[in-house]
Amino acid sequence: MASPQYILSLDQGTTSSRAIIFDMEQNIVSVGQKEFEQIFPQPGWVEHNPMEIYNSQLDSIYSALEEQHIPPSAISCIGITNQRETTIMWDKSTGEPIYNAIVWQCRRSAPLCEELIASGMGETIRKKTGLLPDAYFSSTKIRWILDNVPDARRRAEAGEILFGTVDTWLIWKLTGGKVHATDYTNASRTMLFNIHTLEWDKDLLKLLNIPECILPEVKNSSDNYGTAVINGVEIPITGVAGDQQAALFGQCCFEKGEAKNTYGTGCFLLMNTGDEPIQSKNNLITTIAAGINGKVTYALEGSVFVGGAVIQWLRDQMKFITHARESETMAQKVADNGGVYLVPAFTGLGAPYWDMYARGCLIGITRGTTPEHIVRAAEESIAYQTADLLDAMVKDTGIPLKSLKADGGASADNFLMQFQADVTGVPIQRPAIRETTALGAAYLAGLYTGIWKDTNEISSSWKLKKQYLPQMDHKDRSHLLEQWHKAVRSSMGWAR
Ligand code: ADP
C-alpha cells in the first residue's frame, strides 16, 4: 500500500463544496468542486439542504481523488473549513435533519436580536462571546428552529436532537455518527460560547432557552475528530476551523499583530491579538483565531459587506466592464479618481460604521467624469473600506501594523493591491498559494499528525508571490481619506 503523501482539505463554502488535495510541499495537486442550491423561502431568508451540503462535499472528494487517480490510502489526514454560523439540527438516531440549514446570511431571527438588545442584554452578550448581538450568529437560529419546527423543543429537551455548525454536521456524517464535536473557532461564532472560560455559557443558554444537551463537544482546531471512511479507507480528521480563521492560519498570521484581509464578495479582515481577547471600542468583533494544545489565540475581526461585489455591480448592472479583471486596466487609464467617490453601501455599512440605513452614494461628479473615473472610484472604495477597518484595529490594539496579507478573488487586482498599500501606508503581501482557507485547514490537520512540528516550521514555508510597497506621499493619502470620509457621511442614514 502507498504511504500517505497528501492532505485532503474540505472547504465547505456558502455556494459550493470543494475538496483540495495538497502534497507535503503544500502544492495543490487536485481540486473537486460541486455547487448546491440556495433556497430563499421568503425575502431575507436563506437556507441550504443539509443532505445536499454533505453529498456535494462527498462528490467533491471523489472527483478530486479521481481526477489525479489518487487512492484514498494516499491521504494522510483531513482538514475541514466551513461557512461559519450556519445552523443545522438533526435527529440523533436517524441522522435526518429536522429542518433545512439556516444560513449565516438569513435575517429571520433579527426581531429576536432586537429584543435582546432592547432588554439590555447586548453588553452581557458582547462581554461573554465577543460578538455584537446579530441574526448572523447561530444561537437565535437554533431558537427559531426550537420554536417553529413541530415537536422540536420537546425532542431536543429529551436528548433526541443534535445541533451543529457545518463542520460539526460534516464530522458527524463522515464518522458515521460517532463524533459530535466542533472546534473553538466555530464555537466562538454561535453566540453561546464564552470565549474567556472556553465553555458553553449557562447564562446565555438560559436566556435563549436552549437545552445544553444538543451542543457538540468543543475541541482544539488541531485535534482528533475521529475517522472518515472514504471508499472503505479510514482517514483521520485532524483539523477544523471556520473559513476566515482558517485563512488567517493559512496566511501564517501566527504572531500577535499579524493580519490578513480576504478580498471576496465582501472583505474579511482578521488580526491575531495573541492570548488577549481585546474588546473593541470601534465595533469590531472579538473571536477565537485557533485553539492548539489547549491554548487559544484570539483575533479581532471586521467585515465589509460589499468588497469585490462592487466590481460585479460594475459588470452586471452598470455594464462598464464585461469581466471583473477589466476593472484593473480601466482604473489605470485615468491618472486619479477625478474627485469622484463611490460608497458601495448597497446593503448598509458594516464595521466600523454599522449603519443599516446607509445606501450607496456616488459623489463628486462633474462634466469631465468618465466611466473610467467611476470604475476607479469603485476599486478605490474596496481599499478605503479596508483602510477604515485597519484603522479601527490599530486604535483598538495599539499595535502598528507591519504588513497586511491579502487573499480572495479580488486580490489578483494589481491596481487595487497597490492602492491599498498607498492608502494604508502598509506593505500588502500576496502569497504564492491563493487557496489560503483550504491551506489553513491542511496546516491544522498536518500539525496534529506531525507532518509539521510546529507553527515555526509552517511559517518558514510561507511563500510570497508579490509585495506592494506604499508609494503615495502622506499629504495625498490624507486628502483622499478625508474626501472618502466626507462621502461616507453623505451615504449614512439615507434610507432611514
Ligand atoms: P467569494 O469567495 O466571496 O465568492 P472570491 O474570493 O471568489 O469570492 O472573489 C470573487 C470576487 O472578487 C467577486 O466579487 C469579483 O467581482 C471579484 N474579482 C475577481 N477577480 C477580480 C479582479 N481581477 N479584479 C477585481 N475584482 C475581482
Average pLDDT over residues 231-248: 96
Nearest to 191 by CA among 135, 246, 151: 135
Query: 188 lies in a domain?
Result: yes
pLDDT-based confidence at 45, cuts 50/70/90? Answer: confident
The burial of 371, by beta-carbon neighbours within 10 Å (0-12 exposed, 13-18 middle, 19 or more buried), is given as middle
Query: 448 lies in a domain?
Result: no
Average pLDDT over residues 18-36: 94
The answer on pLDDT for 208 being more than 80 is: yes
What lines the ligand 1 site, CB under 6 Å?
A: 264-265, 308-309, 311-312, 324-325, 327-328, 408-410, 412-413
Are residues 487 and 387 both part of a single domain? yes
Measured in Å, residue 49 CA sits from the centre of ligand 1 at 25
Domain end marker among 215, 241, 267: 241
Q: Which three cell numbers stand for residue 115?
A: 429584543
- At 53 the pLDDT is 96
- At 263 the pLDDT is 95
- At 299 the pLDDT is 96
Are residues 272 and 173 both part of a single domain? no
Measured in Å, residue 264 CA sits from the centre of ligand 1 at 5
Query: 440 lies in a domain?
Result: no
- At 15 the pLDDT is 85
pLDDT-based confidence at 357, cuts 50/70/90? Answer: confident
The answer on pLDDT for 209 being more than 90 is: yes
pLDDT-based confidence at 73, cuts 50/70/90? Answer: very high
pLDDT digit string, tens, across residues 253-275 = 999 999 999 999 889 999 999 99
Nearest to 138 by CA among 172, 101, 168, 104: 104
Return d(Cα 170, Cα 53) in angstroms, integer: 8
Q: What is the average pLDDT score of the chain?
A: 94
Query: 19 lies in a domain?
Result: yes
- At 105 the pLDDT is 84
pLDDT-based confidence at 19, cuts 50/70/90? Answer: very high
The answer on pLDDT for 4 being more than 80 is: no
- At 348 the pLDDT is 84
Average pLDDT over residues 357-382: 96
DSSP string over 399-417: PPPS-EEEESGGGG-HHHH
Query: 77 lies in a domain?
Result: yes
DSSP string over 140-153: HHHHHHHHHSTTHH
Return d(Cα 141, Cα 85) in angstroms, integer: 9
Residues contacting 137, CB < 8 A, separation 6+: 85, 129, 131, 189, 190, 191
Identify the H or E element spanning 81.
strand 75-82
Measured in Å, residue 266 CA sits from the centre of ligand 1 at 9
Query: How many CB atoms lie under 10 A from the CB of residue 346?
Result: 15
Are residues 117 and 176 both part of a single domain? yes
Average pLDDT over residues 402-406: 93
The sign of the CA dihedral 215, 217, 220, 226 is negative
**Residue 228 CA, distance from chain mean position:** 25
Measured in Å, residue 154 CA sits from the centre of ligand 1 at 44
Return d(Cα 347, Cα 484) in angstroms, integer: 18
Q: What is the dihedral of CA 199, 202, 205, 210, to 10 degrees?
A: 90
Q: Please name the residue whose Cα sits nearest to atom 27 of ligand 1.
A: 410
Return d(Cα 412, Cα 305) in angstroms, integer: 19
Pairing verdict, β 161-164 and 88-91: antiparallel
Measured in Å, residue 408 CA sits from the centre of ligand 1 at 7
Query: 407 lies in a domain?
Result: yes
Q: What is the CATH number of the domain that holds 140?
A: 3.30.420.40
Q: In residues, how long is the chain?
A: 496
Are residues 84 and 137 both part of a single domain? yes
Return d(Cα 15, Cα 332) in angstroms, integer: 32
Return d(Cα 11, Cα 17) in angstroms, integer: 6
- At 261 the pLDDT is 97
DSSP structure class, residue 442? H
The answer on pLDDT for 116 being more than 50 is: yes
**Residue 393 CA, distance from chain mean position:** 17
Q: Is 329 helix (H, G, I), strand (E, B) or coil?
A: helix
Query: 202 lies in a domain?
Result: yes
Residue 290, beta-bridge partner list: 297
**Percentage of residues in the chain having pLDDT higher than 90:** 84
Are residues 256 and 186 both part of a single domain? no
How many domains does one find in the chain? 2
Q: Which three cell numbers stand for residue 495?
A: 434610507
Range(s) of the domain holding residue 125: 6-241
Average pLDDT over residues 416-420: 98
- At 399 the pLDDT is 87
Domain end marker among 181, 214, 241: 241
Identify the H or E element spanning 181.
strand 181-183
Are residues 173 and 318 both part of a single domain? no
Are 333 and 313 spatial neighbours (Cβ–Cβ below 8 Å)? no
Are residues 409 and 264 both part of a single domain? yes
Average pLDDT over residues 276-292: 93
Are 305 and 313 spatial neighbours (Cβ–Cβ below 8 Å)? no
Q: Is the peptide bond before 4 cis (omega within 30 degrees of 0)?
A: no
The answer on pLDDT for 2 being more than 80 is: no
Q: Is 16 helix (H, G, I), strand (E, B) or coil?
A: strand
Residue with cell 447564562: 203
Average pLDDT over residues 210-238: 96
* Single-letter amino acid, residue 271: M
pLDDT digit string, tens, across residues 303-338 = 998 899 999 999 999 999 999 999 999 999 999 999
Q: Which three cell numbers stand for residue 259?
A: 493580519
Of 243, 265, 430, best ligand 1 pocket probe by most atoms within 8 Å of the beta carbon: 265
- At 3 the pLDDT is 65
Query: How many CB atoms lie under 10 A from the CB of residue 66?
Result: 11
Q: Which three cell numbers stand for residue 364?
A: 463628486
Query: 385 lies in a domain?
Result: yes
Nearest to 18 by CA among 26, 6, 7, 30: 30
Are 84 and 165 spatial neighbours (Cβ–Cβ below 8 Å)? yes
- 108 or 87, greater pLDDT: 87
Return d(Cα 243, Cα 134) in angstroms, integer: 19
Are residues 122 and 162 both part of a single domain? yes
DSSP structure class, residue 138? S
Are residues 237 and 355 both part of a single domain? no
Domain end marker among 221, 241, 261: 241
Please state the three-class secondary structure of 330-361 as a single string: HHHCCCCCCCCEEECCECEECCCCCECCCCCE
Nearest to 313 by CA among 351, 360, 355: 360
**Ligand 1 atom index nearest CA of 308:** 14
- At 258 the pLDDT is 93
pLDDT-based confidence at 1, cuts 50/70/90? Answer: very low
Are residues 323 and 228 both part of a single domain? no
Average pLDDT over residues 116-126: 93
Are residues 231 and 202 both part of a single domain? yes
Average pLDDT over residues 130-156: 95
**Ligand 1 atom index nearest CA of 13:** 2
Are residues 206 and 105 both part of a single domain? yes
- At 321 the pLDDT is 95
Q: What is the dihedral of CA 386, 441, 193, 50, to 10 degrees?
A: 100
pLDDT-based confidence at 347, cuts 50/70/90? Answer: confident
Return d(Cα 63, Cα 17) in angstroms, integer: 12
Measured in Å, residue 308 CA sits from the centre of ligand 1 at 5
